[in-house]
Structure 1
Amino acid sequence: METFFLVPVFERYSKWLLFEISNAYRLIGNRLILSDVEDERLAKELRSRGILVFREDFTKVLKELPKPIIVLDPKAKVNLDPGEASSGTIIIGGILGSHPPLGRTSVLISSRFRGFKEFVYFRKIGDRQFTIDGALAVAWLISQGKKLEEIEVVNGLKITQKLPFGLQREIELPYAYPKVNGKLFVSKELLNYLLTS
């Protein structure tokens, strides 16, 4: 059986969001589904990249997706494991991270499932704060049979741009980034955007 990945997107249009979701789609493909996309510009650009996008609330979209449902919530007490991630639907919040985290996944997603314990499980992917695409990559790797502790993760990322006259500009991203097939999983579109904006 296949695992599907549902991302309720609670954000307005931003290039950052577009690039992260596109990066995840390149890895996961048609098993990535977005809901709650109310921003028409964002929906249009995501659809033009081949991504399945719904305006409807994630609880309605879930009715058509396989069970069980696993909600990835940093406040959960148990880590996701390959056995439970090998089928069903994993929900990952499409929430651009604040540093430190504000716990919005619990408020916007987990709280909507109280009382549905027979087919909904709350899990986390360790104690690090991942980007949206990074969290999707980790969940996907676990669904493919990797244990969380086997996934190599880099904490924080520093990108440097050389400027004229021997100057340079540094941008620090405080999030965790997994490695997929030995390579750091981060959107090249996003890095280029940050260095040119």
Structure 2
Amino acid sequence: MANANSAHPGDAKIFVVEHLDPELEAWSSLEYSAIASECSATGAKFLLSSVPEQLELPENLQQAKGLNIEHRSIETVFADQKDRVCLLDPAASKELSPEDGDRFHVFLFGGILGDDPPRDRTSELRKKGYEGRRLGPVQMTTDTAVRVTRMIVQDRVPLEAIPYIDHPELKINKHESTEMPFRYVKGKDGQPIMPEGMVDLIKKDSERGFGDLL
């Protein structure tokens, strides 16, 4: 994960997740909270856009440092900066590179990225005409996608140089385990970096089956 001291104030970027669901699931709020915390620690800004006015945020998000809530859509907020917005798009033909940190100021993610199988939620943003970049061939959770993007454009770490763990197996109990169908950044402890509380949530919901989380 990126070092909190590695960001340069003059290079501060804006990471935007366009919330494309009328509701906010518990696992999604954990991801958003993790994104807010890491962006705040590295001098970046996190904006959660298109949040329905009537949506009541859970307590962990209400208290999340670095979270900026926007009820308007990305199109409205950055109407005059369209050429400075990069859409992280699995269908894009070009991979994100450190040089894109010079070209773009806003990095846009379509929630929810962590669908399995992917439902191409990003297509709703693709239609708006933003230039796209991809983060490799393996599906990532939303917080991982933001984490990887931040490491590339702020810390100048090439996509292929970031340590990953694909499809890690989580032990639910002595007899059961579940395989996560996503790519994660490998932490210093050798484990996949996940939002605080996510493993407990997965274990708690394991009886319903992993598909119910998505």
Regarding TM over 0.5, the answer is yes
In proportion to residue count, which structure has more strand? 1
Q: Map of 1:60-79 to 2, 5 A cutoff?
A: 60-63=76-79, 68-79=84-95
Q: Would the aligned equivalents of 2:113 and 2:140 in 1 still touch at CA under 8 Å?
A: no
Shift of 1:13: 1.6
Q: Which runs of 5+ in 2 are unaligned?
A: 1-10, 206-214
TM-score with structure 1 length normalisation? 0.84
Distance (Å, rounded) in 1 between the aligned partners of 2:149 and 2:17 = 12
- Superposed CA deviations along residues 15-48 of structure 1, whole A, max 9, x for unmatched, are 0100011112221125111101115223775233
Large movers: runs of 4+ above 6 Å = none
Shift of 1:168: 2.3
Q: Which runs of 5+ in 1 are unaligned?
A: 114-119
Report what 2:49 is aligned to.
35
Shift of 1:155: 0.8
Q: Does 1:150 align with 2:152?
A: no
In proportion to residue count, which structure has more helix? 1
Percent of paired sites with the same residue: 23
* C-alpha distance 60-180 of structure 1, shift in aligned 2 (>3 A): farther
Q: Would the aligned equivalents of 1:9 and 1:93 in 2 still touch at CA under 8 Å?
A: yes
Q: Would the aligned equivalents of 1:82 and 1:145 in 2 still touch at CA under 8 Å?
A: yes
Report what 2:29 is aligned to.
18
Q: Which secondary structure does the structure 1 equivalent of 2:167 belong to?
A: strand
Shift of 1:194: 1.5
Shift of 1:110: 1.0
RMSD: 2.2
TM-score with structure 2 length normalisation? 0.78
Q: Would the aligned equivalents of 1:130 and 1:177 in 2 still touch at CA under 8 Å?
A: yes
